[in-house]
Structure 1
Amino acid sequence: MSRVTPQALADAINIIRAMGIKQKELLADELFRTQPNMFGSALALQRMGVSLAKIEVVLELLFVCFQAMKQSGLPWPLITEADLDKQLGRYVATVRFGEDLSPAQRQRAMMQYLEAHPEKPLLAHVTDELNKWLASITPEDTDNYVMLASMNFVNCIAFTPIPTVAKRT
């Protein structure tokens, strides 16, 4: 079951799309305070040669992811650098696994990955936005970093345990 409901995601998308630059600056400040590692991983793309225009795409997706976390109403823990590294490693291993398969096997493996993903709505949104973005640009080698960072946000949100609060009796 998704922790970020389709309604929370839809609300997040609408909120982010309605924001002006000043509101996004305030959201970036909040993101930096509460999830600095996620924010830092987006900003670190510049060191990998990703253009500022493409980093803006990543930040927009991160803003939606972050706002969706907020809209979920759940007490999200800090996503650490270790969480980011672990999920990136898992995702890269999954993609590499698919490279050695026949097209039919690759399709089945991809469907299994999608069906088993705990945050299907968020994964679908980010994948759709990345596909639209890819269709609108001239591809460059650094585009892989944009896609990896964006998918890593989704996977960190999907697989980060949320602590349960014990009920008082």
Structure 2
Amino acid sequence: MMGVITQAVMVQADIDVRGMGPAQKVHLADEIFAQQPNLLASILVLPNMGVDMLTLEVPLHILLVAFKAMKLSGHTWPLISEDVQERCLQRLTARVRFNEGLPEHLADQMVQQFCDEHRERYLLAFVYGYLGDHDLMQVRTDAEKYLMLAALNLVECLADVGATTSS
């Protein structure tokens, strides 16, 4: 089943967040805290895992854009619980472990298939692109590993809970 965040919504959400000043970003973060506190917590915990404050701006931007896209989608999103986050993280890490054992060309095919069939493929593509733009796809350190898992798990959680149409 296809998700609800369209390519146009993703592009507009990214443009909107990039155009925000610090006060507007804080206001959006306050909205996230009120509506999806577990998503915010999953990013704000990253400094405890070695992510420096400058690098933390990358997953924070991803969260702000994802939340803005959720709002622009015209859908109502259920609260993402810690249980949903844990279940999605377990699936994500299992997929990563499976891919690690494959020859490179097969692993690439598996990643491509995962992206093509993903319920929220435009959000996933945005996250991969944004991480790549900031040289965070190589996973050279534990901090980068936790950052990548947090960003990708955000996508998995949104795909998992889906959204309902607003009336």
Match of 2:48 in 1: 47
User: What do the CA deviations read for 1:112-162 (whole angstroms, capped 9, x no partner)?
Assistant: 211210111111111001011116999433111111111111111111133
User: How far apart, in 1, do the equivalents of 2:8 and 2:165 lie?
Assistant: 22
SS in 2 for 1:127: helix
Aligned pair count?
A: 166
- Range that drifts further, 90-99 or 47-56: 47-56
User: How far apart, in 1, do the equivalents of 2:151 and 2:84 lie?
Assistant: 14
Match of 2:141 in 1: 140
Matches within 5 A, 1:85-164: 85-134=86-135, 139-163=140-164
Residue 49 of structure 1 aligns with an amino acid whose one-letter code is G
Cα distance, 1:25 vs. partner? Answer: 0.6
Residue 12 of structure 2 aligns with an amino acid whose one-letter code is D
Consecutive unaligned residues in structure 2, runs of 5 or more: none
With over 3 angstroms needed to count, the CA separation of the structure-2 counterparts of 1:140 and 1:90, relative to structure 1, is same
Cα distance, 1:61 vs. partner? Answer: 0.5
SS in 2 for 1:134: coil
User: How far apart, in 2, do the equivalents of 1:138 and 1:124 lie?
Assistant: 18
Normalised by the length of structure 2, the TM-score is 0.92
User: How far apart, in 2, do the equivalents of 1:137 and 1:52 lie?
Assistant: 19
Cα distance, 1:55 vs. partner? Answer: 1.4
- Range that drifts further, 100-109 or 118-127: 100-109
User: How far apart, in 2, do the equivalents of 1:76 and 1:141 lie?
Assistant: 31
- Range that drifts further, 5-14 or 127-136: 127-136
Q: Which is higher, the Rg of structure 1 or of structure 2?
A: 1
- Aligned Cα root-mean-square deviation (Å): 2.1
With over 3 angstroms needed to count, the CA separation of the structure-2 counterparts of 1:6 and 1:99, relative to structure 1, is same
Match of 2:80 in 1: 79
Match of 1:18 in 2: 19
Identity of aligned residues (%): 39
Normalised by the length of structure 1, the TM-score is 0.91
